[in-house]
Structure 1
Amino acid sequence: MKISIERGALLRAVGQAQSVVERRNTIPILANVLIEAEGDSARFRATDLDIEVVDRAAAQVERAGATTVSAITLHEIVRKLPDGALVQLTDDNAAGRLTVQAGRSNFSLATLPRDDFPVMASPDYTSNFAAPASVLRRLFDKSKFAISTEETRYYLNGVYMHVAQGEEGQVLRCVATDGHRLARVDAALPGGAETMPGVIVPRKTVGELRKLLEDDDMEIAVSVSETKVRFATPDITLTSKVIDGTFPDYTRVIPQDNARRLEVDAAEFARAVDRVATVSSERSRAVKMALDEDRLVLSVNAPDSGAAEEELAVAYGDERLEIGFNAKYLLEIASQVDRENAVFLFNNSGDPTLMREGNDTSAVYVVMPMRV
């Protein structure tokens, strides 16, 4: 194999690959990226056996072929090369080396046989549809903060993507929860997605997918089966196993009858919570919200470190209420609000609180209160 490729294209392809491979591996080949060159392009494939990414980049192919080399080492080399450099990759199968050459820089890296590289099997996808990158980005960005990191409840370690019944018909919905907070985000159902099975997309896959969704004008081809999900652009294909488990019935924890309504400037609220939480103990970071007629008082009382209080002018017309929350959860939910105002709907100090953006119900959040 002998190819020449522009440094920027190579850096993007190898950067995507090295973020998929695991740093610690018992199987040496899984630390490598498979480079396959033919025609007028090169494909860079990496996997951790649960996720596989294939990135295609334009290249001048002098000699077709394939090899595998350390993804992290190659990425570090390419990252440190000057912008605009033309990089030449030459594989010597007999010696088991790959030469990386750019200008006066020359590197020789150890390779492993391409035949040892595991390629993820492609199942028969039962549902295929296309969605704009901006739609998928909103669905996953607004829900991923609530993904659980608790390994024992593995079925919560991802975003549940499924077809659901919305207020005006079927929607494509993403839900995540860790038992303390929940995010539910809806988008118009793309054509062809009606029969899609509900799948739990793992946390790592959600992080890798974000890199495919930068271009608002891009259409993403989505394929779903009971065991795998695939997201593809013209140049990058991301395939992932889904979490084998049953996502709980989240509709039971979304309050329907919370009548006490608070409307507040979302950015101002987030800044105020951040300020008063400065003095709270790291373990709980509890913030108390005291609500009265058009007035909100945020306070923290940490016996070991001090106390803080801040008052905000808000829209609130119900009876007095005192309720406590984990400051981190409040900040994460407030940061999801794209519009100016956040609306909180309360029942009482012991029940879950609902939050949304103004009157928009396409994204709703639930947070459990704390004793303060």
Structure 2
Amino acid sequence: MKVTVERAQLLKSLGHVHRVVERRNTIPILGNVLVRAENARLSLKATDLDLEVTETLAAETATGGATTVPAHIFYDIVRKLPDGAQIVLEGDGDRSVLAIRAGRSRFTLQTLPENDFPDLAAGEMTHSFKLAAADIKRLIDRTQFAISTEETRYYLNGIYLHSAGSAKNATLRGVATDGHRLAQVDLALPNGAEGMPGVIIPRKTVGEVQRLIEDNEAEVGIELSQGKIRFTIGNVVLTSKLIDGTFPDYGRVIPQNNDKELIVDKKDFEAAVDRVSTISSERGRAVKLALSAGKLVLSVTNPDSGSATEELEVEYASEPLDIGFNSRYLLDIAAQIEGEGAVLKLADPGSPTLVHDKDSKGALYVLMPMRV
């Protein structure tokens, strides 16, 4: 194999691919990236057996071939080479090494045979559709914070993607919850997604898709089977296993009859919660909201360090109510509000609160209260 490639292109592609590779591997080949040269293209592939990323880029291929090299070392070498460098990769199959040349720099990396590299066979994809990059980015950005990190509740360790609504008003819905808060975002159901199975996309996959979209504003192709999902973003193809579990019936925790409506200025509210929570303990993090006509008083009392209060003018016309929330969860949800105003629909101090954007539709959040 002998191939010449431009440094900036190779670095960008390796940046996408090498992130999948875990730093510590009990199986040596999983620490490597598969490098394949053929027909004026260079393809790079990495996997952790749950997630596989492949990217193809233009290159001058004098002779084709394939090998695997340590992903993180390869990335670091390319990163440290000077801007504008032309990089020559030359494989010597007899000696199991890959030579990397650029200018006066020369490296040789130990290789492992390509035949040992695992393939995450996707099988037959039953559904395929396309989404604008901005739409899938919004769905991920607005739900990702609520993904559970508890490994024991593995079925909550991802975003539940499924079709919802009636035939006339069908939506593609993403839901995430960790039991303390819930985020739900609806998009118009794209052609090809009708009748798709509900799937749980793992947290690591969600993070990789989010990063790839930041580098590419093209349409995102999505293909599904019962056990796998594939995203095609420009020249990058990401294939992932899905979480094998049943997502809970989240509809049961979304309150329908919360009759007390509070409207707050998003920025003022966020800043006030942030200020008073400075006093809260790491463990407790509780902030109390005392509501009365046209007024909201935020307060935190910490026996170890002191107390804080702040008053805000708000739109509220129901009977007085005191309710407590975890301040970090409140801030997480406030950060998702896209417009200037947030609407909180409350019932009583022990019931979940519904939060949504005053102006834009399609996203809602549920927050469980705390005792204060």
**TM-score, with normalisation over the residues of structure 1?**
0.98
Who is 1:113 aligned against? 113
Who is 2:60 aligned against? 60
| Partner Cα distance (1:162, 1:284) in 2 | 35
Per the alignment, do residues 101 and 215 of structure 1 end up closer, same or farther by CA in structure 2, a change over 3 Å counting?
closer
Please list the CA deviations of residues 104-131 of structure 1 after superposition, one character each: whole Å capped at 9, or x if unmatched.
2211111100000001112111101111
Who is 2:197 aligned against? 197
| Partner Cα distance (1:365, 1:312) in 2 | 22
Amino-acid identity (%): 55
Q: In the alignment, is the contact (CA less than 8 A) between 1:148 and 1:177 conserved in 2?
A: yes
Shift, 1:167, TM fit: 10
- Give the residue type in structure 2 aligned to 1:85: A
| Partner Cα distance (2:22, 2:262) in 1 | 45
Who is 2:230 aligned against? 230
| Partner Cα distance (1:352, 1:83) in 2 | 54
Secondary structure in 1 matching 2:19: helix
Shift, 1:177, TM fit: 0.3
Shift, 1:2, TM fit: 1.1
Please list the CA deviations of residues 206-233 of structure 1 after superposition, one character each: whole Å capped at 9, or x if unmatched.
0011123226741111100110000002
Q: Does 1:98 align with 2:98?
A: yes
| Partner Cα distance (1:281, 1:168) in 2 | 49
Secondary structure in 2 matching 1:143: helix
Who is 1:129 aligned against? 129
| Partner Cα distance (2:104, 2:357) in 1 | 56
| Partner Cα distance (2:168, 2:370) in 1 | 35
Please list the CA deviations of residues 211-268 of structure 1 after superposition, one character each: whole Å capped at 9, or x if unmatched.
2322674111110011000000230000000000000000000000111111111122
Please list the CA deviations of residues 334-359 of structure 1 after superposition, one character each: whole Å capped at 9, or x if unmatched.
00111111111000111000000015
Who is 2:371 aligned against? 371
Who is 2:262 aligned against? 262
| Partner Cα distance (1:364, 1:125) in 2 | 31
CA RMSD of aligned residues (A): 1.3
Per the alignment, do residues 167 and 254 of structure 1 end up closer, same or farther by CA in structure 2, a change over 3 Å counting?
farther
1:102-251 pair list within 5 angstroms: 102-165=102-165, 169-214=169-214, 217-251=217-251
| Partner Cα distance (2:196, 2:243) in 1 | 16
Shift, 1:176, TM fit: 0.4
Secondary structure in 1 matching 2:17: helix
Ranges in structure 2 where 5+ consecutive residues have no aligned partner: none
Q: In the alignment, is the contact (CA less than 8 A) between 1:134 and 1:215 conserved in 2?
A: no
Q: In the alignment, is the contact (CA less than 8 A) between 1:274 and 1:331 conserved in 2?
A: yes
- Give the residue type in structure 2 aligned to 1:214: E
| Partner Cα distance (2:269, 2:139) in 1 | 24
Secondary structure in 2 matching 1:279: coil
Who is 1:37 aligned against? 37
1:328-343 pair list within 5 angstroms: 328-343=328-343
| Partner Cα distance (1:216, 1:93) in 2 | 35
Per the alignment, do residues 146 and 257 of structure 1 end up closer, same or farther by CA in structure 2, a change over 3 Å counting?
same
Please list the CA deviations of residues 298-330 of structure 1 after superposition, one character each: whole Å capped at 9, or x if unmatched.
111001011111111111111111111001100
| Partner Cα distance (2:357, 2:307) in 1 | 30
Q: In the alignment, is the contact (CA less than 8 A) between 2:339 and 2:360 conserved in 1?
A: no
Who is 2:48 aligned against? 48
Per the alignment, do residues 237 and 362 of structure 1 end up closer, same or farther by CA in structure 2, a change over 3 Å counting?
same
Q: In the alignment, is the contact (CA less than 8 A) between 2:280 and 2:286 conserved in 1?
A: yes
Q: In the alignment, is the contact (CA less than 8 A) between 1:134 and 1:216 conserved in 2?
A: no
- Which consecutive segments of 4 or more residues in structure 1 shift more than 3 A? none
Q: In the alignment, is the contact (CA less than 8 A) between 1:133 and 1:215 conserved in 2?
A: no
Q: In the alignment, is the contact (CA less than 8 A) between 1:132 and 1:216 conserved in 2?
A: no
- Give the residue type in structure 1 aligned to 2:135: V
| Partner Cα distance (1:217, 1:100) in 2 | 32
Q: In the alignment, is the contact (CA less than 8 A) between 1:223 and 1:230 conserved in 2?
A: yes
| Partner Cα distance (1:271, 1:303) in 2 | 23
Ranges in structure 1 where 5+ consecutive residues have no aligned partner: none
Secondary structure in 2 matching 1:120: coil
Shift, 1:196, TM fit: 1.1
1:60-79 pair list within 5 angstroms: 60-79=60-79
Q: In the alignment, is the contact (CA less than 8 A) between 1:258 and 1:353 conserved in 2?
A: yes
Per the alignment, do residues 347 and 207 of structure 1 end up closer, same or farther by CA in structure 2, a change over 3 Å counting?
same
